Chain A
């Protein structure tokens, strides 16, 4: 078996270093479907062994539950508190989703503007690249100071984090088109809207989806950080309060719940990508083999 995780083809589509992480999960899932059974079971067996080891160590050394609970204790607590976790889960999911939508609604038209207008590109693009590198999480306390403790500040922080990957990949996608394709369609008499709808947009979509998937993995982070700082609901808030009470077992259960939100986002975008640009996804799958 080759490691298979280094598929340079999919990485060249990304404008950002962070695109690699989502690419990795996607590649892994693709391989997951084509792998033989023993190879599939090996990581599962490792996971079970590690969990068993964890359980044995905690029980044998009588580690206090508030320091490090055993997996069974965390699972038990998670099930017992499931209704409360679920209530916060839906709050966080909602904030992350709305923030993500806001980012998409601003950055996709924005990337179009920059890709089509030389003036806008020259004026804003270098600033955007610089802005992408500035840590936007640092703005979270200010946004909360402005907007209070409701849902809105979480939505804005999430949008702030998701904005740049979509924007930069969108610009890259809309800009990088083979001129020959443009010439060919023009000499075939394509009208401007046909040019956009049938040539430029489909050409940009694979790159745009790279940005959308990268942003999808950031949406949860934005919502959770905002809830850490100024929340009265949501998984981030619940995690902080639970840990203040030293309920580490419940804390671990909440972290697992958070992770599933991230996975929901990622696989949601993956599915949408498969529906929107099946021609590209299937091509990539063949290359992966």
Chain B
């Protein structure tokens, strides 16, 4: 029994490596072509630097310059996202209980959601200046809507049968809420949370593009204005680290929090 499962495990590993070899191969070939092309055709460094010089430049400058800006941007995005989570989920819960609130505000919120959120950036900069606040608030605005709308949908879309079953099994009111309503809303809530996590960094960086005295967005603008493309690409890589860490961090939390959910099963994992 254990032997066979072990064997299937190792064969699965081989399978995984084989599957991974294709994208890794593509990436390696792509990077090699980039490097060779840039060197062969003597593309000027201020147009497109080779990947190696991006890595070298990034490593050289990371401790002194990139890292402090990295923490600033990470801090702004985290605060904005955290505030959105803390406000949007309870608000979604409240809306799911009140038909009056839903009827009055839901259509409005759907339409406000169509306003391009990043367009708030210039207004926030005018109101709050060059500090961290406008970045946090823009991140909050960007993250709020997906979490709120999906939480509301999640808390509302509970099959009454579950609740009735819970009640007839003698569950108390808080148990019905905590064990049934809350749990069954979680898959939907996490859809919103993942969307928000994927765009949190974008909110902070777009606000930094416009006006900032620190942060990766400002640093990218500076590097590019000096035509230091290698440093620019290294900065973008640092931004992607934040963005991907948020998204995959949230995915990890999801897979821990709702292990039981259907979409966590293998079949539907294919796309994301």
Contacts and interface: CB of A to CB of B under 8 A. Distances in A.
To the question of whether A and B form a pair in one complex, the answer is: yes
Interface of A: 1-3, 5-6, 15-18, 20-21, 24-25, 28, 32, 39, 42-43, 45-47, 50, 66-67, 119, 122-127, 129, 133-135, 137-142, 145-146, 168, 172, 217, 220-221, 224-225, 228-229, 236, 239-240, 242-244, 246, 248, 251-252, 254-255, 258-259, 262-263, 266
Nearest 4 pairs between A and B by C-beta?
A243-B122, A122-B22, A43-B107, A126-B23
B198 interface: yes
Nearest to A146: B47
Given A3-B153, A129-B272, A224 B106 contact: no
Interface string B208-239: 01100000000011001001010011001001
B236 A129 contact: no
Given A138-B239, A141-B209, A146-B47, A258 B119 contact: yes
Given A17-B272, A21-B149, A259-B116, 18 more contacts: A1-B103, A6-B157, A18-B195, A21-B113, A119-B22, A124-B26, A126-B22, A127-B26, A129-B272, A133-B248, A135-B198, A145-B229, A145-B232, A221-B116, A228-B121, A228-B122, A251-B122, A263-B114
Contact of A24 (B127, B149, B157): B149
Contact of A262 (B27, B116, B205): B116
Contacts of A251: 122-123, 126
Contacts of A134: 240, 243-244
Interface in B102-143: 102-108, 110, 113-116, 118-123, 125-127
Residue in B121, B152, B248 with the greatest tally of chain A CB atoms within 10 Å? B121
B106 A3 contact: yes
B69 interface: no
B194 A17 contact: yes
A248 B123 contact: yes
B106 to A, nearest CB: 7
B116 A258 contact: yes
B236 A139 contact: yes
Could you say which of B116, B191, B244 has the most chain A C-beta atoms within 10 Å of its C-beta? B116
B255 interface: no
Nearest to B239: A138
A133 B198 contact: yes
Given A3-B96, A3-B152, A225-B118, A135 B202 contact: yes
A168 B271 contact: yes
B108 A217 contact: no
A18 B113 CA distance: 12
Contact of A243 (B123, B145, B272): B123
7 contacts: A43-B106, A46-B104, A134-B243, A137-B202, A140-B209, A145-B232, A228-B210
Contact of B114 (A125, A248, A262): A262
A248 B188 contact: no
Which of B102, B106, B114: most chain A Cβ within 10 A? B114
Interface residues of B, number: 68
B contact patch SS: helix
A6 B153 contact: yes
Given A248-B123, A259-B115, A1 B229 contact: no
B29 to A, nearest CB: 9
A57 B240 CA distance: 42
Given A3-B96, A24-B110, A138-B236, A221 B243 contact: no
A240 B201 CA distance: 21
A76 B75 CA distance: 40
Interface string B229-272: 10011001001100110011000000000000000000000011
Contacts of A252: 123
B150 interface: yes
B19 interface: yes
A122 B103 CA distance: 47
A48 to B, nearest CB: 11
A47 B103 CA distance: 12
Interface in B143-172: 145-146, 149-150, 152-154, 156-157
B157 A141 contact: no
A135 B201 contact: yes
B91 interface: no
Contacts of A248: 123, 126
A224 B243 CA distance: 21
A123 B22 contact: yes
